[in-house]
Structure 1
Amino acid sequence: MYFQPAVGVINFETTPQASTWFFQRDLQATARRYYGLKDSALELFWKDGSSTLFGFERKHEREQVFRLLPTHRNTNNIIPCHTDREFIVQASQEWQRGNVNNYDYLLLLNSAAGRSVQDLSRYPVFPWIISDYESTTLDLTNEKTFRDLTKPIGALNKKRLDYFKQRFEGMAEMEDPFLYGTHYSAAGYVLYYLVRSMPEHMLCLQNGKFDAPDRMFHSIHSCNACVLSNHADVKELTPEFYNPNNDFDFLINARGLQLGATQNGDRVDDVSLPPWAKSARDFLRKNNKALESEICTATLPRWIDLIFGSKSRGDAAKEANNLFHRSAYL
């Protein structure tokens, strides 16, 4: 397979642009995707762990290409489609048997739900797991170290939840009343976390400027405090926080970006880590260890229900204090 932009369609250039080649033998999986609000995109996953997202004008064009793709590898193993029900059922069974770890299973769930690292508006979402960002040592045998995964992030602070509920009651005459006016995942939130590793995207979103320094991601502790108290902040995390093989560039200002200074004069540079993290790499390692712990595994299915399952919308979401503005369900 190869991809080459059409010549002269946008800027009337006459010089052919470089082609990008993809070898079918390297294809590991596929997934149907949305392109904007249209169900017309296709993501292909490659042997090296990367993926490519193709957007088509129409759904039937995507399906035509999909049918041309090989269905089996040379070893006769089936090439799975992440958005097929059979795939996620099998993945769930393997996770329950302990053959798939929590990190990989959450990635598979995100992919099955239509989320992709190639789409900032539908970026994979991971939960806040740890609740202790003040201690000098991290005790992963103590349940108090962990966030309550049976509740959405917006319901962890009772005082704030009471405010949301009171506001909800005032919306009784609205067609679609909601608890949370913001979502747990959005393109802006993704770039908030990843600005140091993909500053060009932030500059594009902010019309050539970085966000105000006081609103930049500069501290794990303050970020967690905000999502537990701010009425307009209920965001979860991204996979980068739990990937032990990540180069942690989203936590370190390796490019020397000029991100400004906060109102109290502190320069925004590397992200400030909790006392129990010796380094950015140690922070990711301990985050991953918390995610894979028995305590987390015991309640992780409850969080999965809130984000991907039976309590993600409708009456069950209302009962679980997990109801968002209707625009979140587009």
Structure 2
Amino acid sequence: MKSDGSREAEGNEQDGDEKGARGEGKHRETFVDAVCRLTNEPRCSGTALPDMQEQEVQVGSEGRRKSAHHFLAMEESLLEDVDWPEAVRSWQRGELSNYDYLLILNYLAGRRWGDRCFHTVMPWVIDMSVKPGMGQGTAGWRDLTKSKWRLAKGDEQLDFTYSSSETPHHISDECLSELAVCIYKARRLPLWILKQQVRSVYEPNEYPSSMSRLYEWTPDECIPEFFTDADIFVSRHEGMSDLAVPEWACDCTDFISLHRGVCLFFS
């Protein structure tokens, strides 16, 4: 991981590099750019209720259960009174984890935990192939120099999008769509929401069955629940299996612990 003291200077260098890259028409966008983009355009295709109202979560052992209510309340209470300038300085000094810093950026951008239309977003940090810390070199790590959209679609598709669009662009204007949020949370959301937002005919076998498949499939970024809430893996729907964790994790609770540890201090 990069040293704490180099964050501020490095950030200034990256700002200059990114501006130059955009001017040359490169496929370049930082994760922070995507998180903090604000828009007045409608984001939902239908009525969106907060997940804490949609979920009737009754599954999962009491020892590991973390409800949507708990995390929504925790996020709001912790972030409402944050001293934003001091938080930035704390992050630069290495006193605030990357995970908590990104939660603050999400909050400032208007993103909220449980809002499918403008959900709190986190980057994918690992590609699920190797247990965190066990791979050689870059094995198992997601390439953070490229957007997930670029990693999933490939440069050829991005170039085609740029050349064929009325307003030339390489990547989607959303780093986390409502559709992706619904598919990520498919095991917990009511069927009527899945039928409304994903597909009108419910077919459980068409949803990604494992975290590895989900990562491979999605062009969108991650959600914080995959770092905090073991219940998101447990299916409440007939015919839909639980979301399988990689073989290197003992169970969903073990996966959450390992995944969260990586996101705290990724670089």
Under a length normalisation based on structure 2, what TM-score does the superposition of the two structures give? 0.63
Deviation at 1:204, TM superposition (A): 6.6
Which of 214, 230, 248 lines up with 1:223 in the alignment?
Answer: 214
Deviation at 1:112, TM superposition (A): 0.7
The answer as to 2:261 corresponding to 1:276 is: no
Change (3 A) 1:149 1:201: farther
Aligned partners of 1:242 and 1:285 also within 8 Å: yes
Aligned partners of 1:88 and 1:109 also within 8 Å: no
* Residue aligning to 1:252: 234
* Residue aligning to 1:236: 221
Matches within 5 A, 1:7-46: none
Change (3 A) 1:178 1:136: closer
* Residue aligning to 2:178: 187
Aligned partners of 2:113 and 2:119 also within 8 Å: yes
The unaligned stretches of length 5 or more in structure 1 are 1-32, 39-47, 53-78, 228-233, 261-267, 298-330
Change (3 A) 1:95 1:195: same
SS in 2 for 1:292: helix
SS in 2 for 1:143: coil
What CA deviation, in whole Å up to 9, does each residue of 1:242-261 have, x standing for no partner?
12xx3x111012x3x11x4x
Deviation at 1:218, TM superposition (A): 1.6
Change (3 A) 1:186 1:208: closer
Change (3 A) 1:201 1:182: farther
The size of the alignment, in residue pairs, is: 202
Change (3 A) 1:99 1:136: closer
Change (3 A) 1:178 1:197: same
Which of 153, 157, 161 lines up with 1:163 in the alignment?
Answer: 157
* Residue aligning to 1:67: none
CA distance in 2, matches of 1:118, 1:131: 24
What CA deviation, in whole Å up to 9, does each residue of 1:178-220 have, x standing for no partner?
2235732122211211122232562473599674334313211
Deviation at 1:235, TM superposition (A): 0.9
CA distance in 1, matches of 2:108, 2:132: 36
Query: What's the RMSD between the two structures over aligned residues?
Result: 3.6
More strand by share: 1
Deviation at 1:168, TM superposition (A): 1.2
Which of 144, 150, 159 lines up with 1:149 in the alignment?
Answer: 144
Change (3 A) 1:196 1:35: farther
* Residue aligning to 1:112: 108
The structure showing larger relative contact order (alpha-carbon pairs under 8 Å, at least 6 residues apart) is 2
Larger gyration radius, structure 1 or structure 2: 1
CA distance in 1, matches of 2:184, 2:135: 24
What CA deviation, in whole Å up to 9, does each residue of 1:93-138 have, x standing for no partner?
11122222222211111111110024210000111110242x4785
CA distance in 2, matches of 1:206, 1:214: 17
* Residue aligning to 2:3: none
Q: Structure 1 residues 190-199 or 112-121, which shifts more?
A: 190-199
CA distance in 1, matches of 2:243, 2:201: 16
Under a length normalisation based on structure 1, what TM-score does the superposition of the two structures give? 0.52
More helix by share: 2
Deviation at 1:285, TM superposition (A): 0.9
SS in 2 for 1:150: coil
The unaligned stretches of length 5 or more in structure 2 are 1-37, 44-69, 75-79
CA distance in 2, matches of 1:219, 1:103: 23
CA distance in 2, matches of 1:183, 1:92: 25
Change (3 A) 1:214 1:193: same
* Residue aligning to 2:123: 127
